[in-house]
Every structure is written in C-alpha cells, then in structure tokens.
Amino acid sequence: MSLSGFTSRFFASFADRLWISRMNFDTHRAGLLLHPTSLPSGTLADAGRWLDFLQAAGFGVWQMLPLGIPLTGLSPYQCASAFAVNPGLFPAAPVDMQGFADWRRRQAYWLEDFARFMVIKAEQGGASWTDWPAVLRDRDARTLAGFDAAHADKLEAVMVEQYGAAMQWRRIHAHAAAHGIQLFGDMPIFVAHDSADVWAQRGLFLLDDVGHPTVVTGVPPDYFSETGQRWGNPHYNWAAMQADGFAWWRARLAAHFEWFDLVRIDHFRGLAAAWVIPAHEPTAIHGEWVEAPGAALLQAIADEMGELPLVAEDLGIITPEVTALRHQFGLPGMAVLQFAFDHHADNPHKPENAHPDTVYYTGTHDNDTTLGWWRMLPDEARQEVMRQLNVDDPDTVPDTMIDTVLKSRAALAILPLQDVLRLGSEARMNTPGTDNGNWTWRFAWDALPPNLASNLLEQLQKAHRCETNPKP
C-alpha cells in the first residue's frame, strides 16, 4: 500500500474511533509518566496490572517515551525506524498468523524496507548503511530482488515480530480504553541517519551522493553548553516533502495514532526553524537557523485528520514564531515546575503562568527526580523555592511541588512515577549529554505501598483531576 493510500484509509476512520478523544482543555486530568522499560519486568508484560493501578489511583493518562528500536545503547530517541517498534518491549507470545498477510499488505509502505534494512544490517555486522556494498547502499533493484528471494524467511520473521507487537499493543490499548485511560506517546522530530527511513527515502533528506548528511541538526550554544548540542540527525529536504504533500509525515503521524491517543512532538520548535550545522563541524557552534514549513505540514495533517491530538514540546528558548505556530493549530505546550524558581515574573513554568492549554510536569524524563533535584540545590536556591511555594518545612517541598502541579490551571498534569514514590537521584531516568546509567531504572511492585492508589485518588479528587470530578 502506498503512503497516500495508508493515510487516506487511516484518517477516514479516525473519527470513528470513539475510544480516542481529543484532550478537552475545559477539564482537568492527571497522568503518570513511565516508560515500559521501567515496569518491573522491563517489558509490557506488566501493562495490564499497571493500567489497573492507574485506574484505581484516578489517573486518566499514561505517558511513555518512544517505542522504537534503539540503534545503540538504550536511548529511545535514536531509532532504526520511525515506524517500527522495539520487539524487546513485548513479552514472548504466540502469534496468530491468520491476519498477518492482510496486516503486512496494509503496512507495506514501511514494513518491507524496514525488514530489508534490519536483515542486511545484521549480515553486514551492524555497519551503517552508508558502509554497505554500493548495490545495497544505493538500493539496486535487481540486487534487492535477489536479496529478498534468498532471505525470505528472515525477512518474514522480522515482519512477523512487528505484527506480534502490534497485536499485543491492540489488546493493551483496548484494556486502557476500557479503563478510560489515554495512551500518550512521544515522537522525536528528527530521525536517525542510520535508519530504514533514510536508507529507503534518501530524497527526503539532505544527503550527498553516497548518502552521508550534508548538514545535521542540533541546538546552538546556550547557558548550559558553550558548544551547543550536535545531535547528528540528518535534516529534512523540506522542498521534496512539501512537493508530495508531506506524504511521509502524514504516514508517520497516522502510524503513531494507530498506537497512541495523544502524541508529543519532541523539539516542536524544529517545525518553525531548526538549527542546522555543516556535517563536517565537530560542534554545534557554526550552525544557522533554517526555517521549516511547519504550518503547511500541520495544515496538511489537519485537512485529513480534522483534530490534532498533539502536544508541542516547547521547552527551552522559544521564539514568538514557535508559540504562534502552536496556537495556530490549538496545540498544548509544556511547562516544568523545576524550571519555575527564578526572579522573572513572566517565567512560563511558574504555577501562576501555567495556562489551561498546558501539560504541566514536576519534571520530565530528562530531569532529575524532584527529590533528587531538591537535595542538590544550593542553600540560596532552596530558600527561594520555599519562598515561592510558601512552605516553611524543607522536607515538604517535593510533596508540595506535586500538589502545586495538580492544583494548577493546566488541563493535564503529569507526574513521573519516581516523584510519586518520593525517590531520589538514584531513580533518575536520563541525564542529557551522558552515556552511562541512563534508561535503566525500574520499579518493583512491592515498592508501591498498599494504600498508594487510594491516597492518590483522594489527592486527585481534591485537585479536581479525576474524569468524574471535573474542575468547575
């Protein structure tokens, strides 16, 4: 099936999926942030029990990180495909092959090239696709046909693995819907260079003749880094994407909404303009802002979908153009309470500045836990936090921050489970710019106190955060 065929079929049926509802910013809800790798088993084998806990505690949203296949290490933000999911997140289970052929046909626009990419990559010892023999690197049609014939079983095994994951997720999604819980996913704005997407769709990215990026993306130097951040992701060939009506992007969003009810676009400001760095530069210092056709892209999606259940990750230095783009399409932004405690009255992270069209966090997966953050603050900063929170006892600060987020005007309040459990830095999920110790934290079921769900339910009810108890 073509990209346009898939998106037309999907979006035509989207309105009929009654278990998906657009976030209503006139009501208040709460959710927990927990990636599947942080479940006790490290997989979605625990999903049913976790959803039962969320329902008992009054939460209406489960937020998680991207579900893709990490290229190296454990980070879910550099993945082998923008469409495929990590089969390691799913417990081993028999696969009903009856529906596989139809599912394979419907997913053919990405599935077959993904399977080829993974099998070739394994046979090439994990080498990047730009280091493959030229006939494979450049997708010689005769060579690929011969490869398919010689590796039919391996290719089918990769595809069946994705089908099995999709069928397991369908059951998880149905369980969530029956509990009145929305699944909140995450989509990195850029894709990894060493991915099936870039190999199969070279014309959609700014590459040289052999497939190397001519420019890469990142962020410029700022207060936190003298050299900025050089992510290394190839930049989009926006002209080519716009020429075909953003077919790849529409398919990507459609695929995400087969999995999730809400989707966060990581680094949303890249849809307004991206920091683009010559590929030969070792740092992000010598880059430039390059505008992106974000309005045209979002309009193309809105024209088909009608509703845009998207959340814009708009943290960091955000320009008026980025804010205007978000408002143009009615997308909620983000605020993080840990960032609120300065002397600037207009700081968007301060509780009084949290607008209804906001997803408000104590901290995100990139922050220290709230308790860990609090313990690491210098004395002067601690005094300022206590002053702004109007508390006298320093031991109450982490709990007060949770309560502050829940009682804010934000339509959706999200708490990392680590904060709910009052855990310190040992439970931190990720430290940006570091390679060790990230993405490994898990909780244990016996770490959840027996009265935790009932206590949380009472807390959410008092904050008017339960679906059955909307804020007046």
Domain harbouring 460, CATH code: 3.20.20.80
- Asked if residue 371 is part of any domain, the answer here is no
In this prediction, residue 469 carries a pLDDT of 42
State the catalytic residues: 266, 313, 366
Asked if the structure places residue 139 within a domain, the reply is no
Distance CA 113, CA 434 (A): 32
396: in domain = no
Residue 299 lies in a domain: yes
Instruction: Please give the tally of structural domains in the chain.
Output: 1
- Residue 28 near residue 272 (C-beta atoms within 8 A): no
Residues of the chain with pLDDT under 70: 1-26, 224, 467-472
Indicate the pTM of the whole model: 0.93
Q: Is residue 136 part of a domain?
A: no
Residue 425 lies in a domain: no
pLDDT at 73: 83
Is 410 inside a domain boundary?
no
Closest to 121 (Cα-Cα) out of 73, 72, 165: 72
d(CA 19, CA 271): 29
Range of the domain at 258: 3-79+182-331+442-470
